Each structure stands twice: as structure tokens, then as C-alpha cells.
Amino acid sequence: MLYDLAAVAAAVSIAFSNLIAPPAIRHLGPVVFNCWRLAAALLALLGLVIARGAWSAPSSGQMLALAASSLLGIVTADSCFYAAMARLGPRRTSVLYTSWAAFAALLGYLILGEALSWVKVAGIACVIGGVWLAILFRGGKSTTKEEPHGSLLAGVVFGLLSALSAAGAVLIARPVMAQGLDPLMATVIRAAVGLPGLVLLSRLPGFREPMPLTLAIALRSAASGLLGMGVGMTLVLFALSSQPVGIVSTLSSITPVAILPLLWVTTGVRPAPVAWLGAACAVIGAAAIASGY
């Protein structure tokens, strides 16, 4: 139960991170923003690890696995996600990205032999369906950013590749975390590997920041990184130390549901009734996953 709650708490933390991120993303561009948020999370977590003296050195095999997980989950998945968003818009991309939970559950079964009961499989389906409803019928005025731009097929391919990469990243990290590696240390390693990859990507033409960094944008980026990468990913890795990848990925993917009341409070726009229905389905599904059946 504790590990299930950790995965849900990760989704809530990432929801807060996503809520404060958009102004910084628009100001810096998505890749440069990712560099700043990851750097802030890395510095904070490294300081925390040093302060508590948690220097349990991982083996070379664990280091390689976490490095591969970082390149897949932080560099590849994020880059493909934003490439899909540029073509499909944020809402359609988010719907495609929720398929990472199903990918993770299937890969966990095929590669790690993590069998799930029918109750938990039904719970996973319920959560994914609820998240879809929450995204598609969230409410609010549509904008030109929701209209497809460029190749629709390319957008779908990038979206599915992002989801598959995220699932692969969790799948690779699962055996390492099951061996008892400290989640904070694992997050530090993943961030330390992913940051240079994002920095290199940000130097390519078309990825440079459109406007110079300001103190307000730097603080917003840092806060988003601490909540999303720092707290959120550490909780996901902690949950992976005990729970199958399908369960952890599903519970931590309810961010679009968790963000509904936050958007209502901050913008005053009431989500559509169907979105609340989706939220209810996701909660029911999460309860089924956390059950002992």
C-alpha cells in the first residue's frame, strides 16, 4: 500500500510541476527549459544525498542500467513528446502518452514475468480510460495550439515512441530498484546522465532559448524541476523497488486527473462533467490496483 501511495503522490507532485511550468516553457523553449529544471533537481538532490550521507555506491551494472533508463526516459521520451506536441497539440499528445502505462505492463509481463491479476488489469484499463476522458473533455476554450500542424502520422509516431521510451525506461530501472538501491541516489544518477544529453540537444539549431533567462523564469523552472524530477521521479523509483512496472506506471500516470482541481482553483475554469467522470474512473481503477486481489 505504501508503494502504491508513493506512485500516486508522484502523479500529484508532477501535476503541480506541470501547472507552474508553461510560462517557463514558452519563455525558454521546451528543451532548454528541461535543461534548467533537470539541473535544479540534480543540485538539490545531490545536496540532500550528501547531507544525509547516503553514498551507497551502485555496481557497474546498476550504473549502466540507470544510464540507459535516463537516456530513454529523460532524453528520448521527452524529446519525442515535445516533437509530437508540436504537431498534434498538448491534449492529443497527452492522450497518446498515457499508453506508456499499457506498454509498461505488457513489457513487464513479457520481459520480467510480472503477472497481474484480472482485478489489477481491469484497474489499469479503468485508470487509462479515465485519464483519456479527463484529458479529452477537460473543458476550457480550445486554441490554435490544439490544431494539428505538419504531418499527423509523424506526430502519432513521435507520441507513441515517447510512450514506449518512457515504458522502457521504467522497465530497465525496475530490477535495479528491486535490488535495494537508494531512490535518491538513483534519481541523482539518472539526472546526471540525462542533463548532458539535453544540453547537447539544446545546442542544435532550433532548440536555443527564444528569450534570455530571467530570475523569475529561473525560479519557476527550478520549482518545476524539484517537484517533477526531484520529488516525482524519486517517488516513482521508490515505488518500483516493490511494485511491478505496470502498476507503478499506471498509478503515476494519473497526473491529468490530479491537475483538474488545481486548474479549477487557479484559473476558475470548471472542468467538464465528463472530465470528472474520467477522474472517478481513474480513482476506481487506482483502488482496484491497490487492492489485495
* pLDDT (0 to 100) of residue 202: 82
> pLDDT band at residue 51, thresholds of 50, 70 and 90?
confident
> pLDDT band at residue 207, thresholds of 50, 70 and 90?
low
* pLDDT (0 to 100) of residue 80: 87
DSSP string, 165-199: HHHHHHHHHHHHHHTT--HHHHHHHHHHHHHHHHH
> pLDDT band at residue 32, thresholds of 50, 70 and 90?
confident
> pLDDT band at residue 281, thresholds of 50, 70 and 90?
very high
Rounded Cα distance between 21 and 182, Å, is 28
* pLDDT (0 to 100) of residue 143: 46
Rounded Cα distance between 74 and 242, Å, is 22
> pLDDT band at residue 144, thresholds of 50, 70 and 90?
very low
> pLDDT band at residue 9, thresholds of 50, 70 and 90?
very high
Could you tell me what percent of the chain has a pLDDT over 90? 39
* List of residues 6+ apart from 171 with CB closer than 8 A: 104, 107, 108, 111, 112, 245
58: pLDDT strictly greater than 80: yes
